[in-house]
Amino acid sequence: MIPARRLHRYTYADYVALELESPTKHEFLDGEIYAMAGGTEEHSALAAQVLRVLGNAIGGRPCRVHTSDLRIYVESIGLATFPDGAVICGPLEQHAPSPKATALNPAVLLEVTSDGSEEYDRGDKVEYYRSIPTLNAYVIVSHRERRITVHARQTDGSWTARSAITGGGVAIESLGAVLLVDEIYRASAIAP
Q: How confident is the model at residue 187 (pLDDT cuts 50, 70, 90)?
A: confident
Q: What is the pTM of this model?
A: 0.93
Strands (E), 19-175: 26-29, 32-35, 63-66, 71-74, 79-81, 85-89, 102-103, 106-112, 137-141, 147-153, 159-165, 169-172
pLDDT digits (tens, 9 = 90+) for 8-34: 789 999 999 999 999 999 999 999 999
pLDDT digits (tens, 9 = 90+) for 41-72: 999 999 999 999 999 999 999 999 999 999 99
**CATH topology for 40-184?**
tt1808, chain A (3.90.1570)
Domain residues of the chain, as ranges? 40-184
For residue 64, give the amino acid letter: R
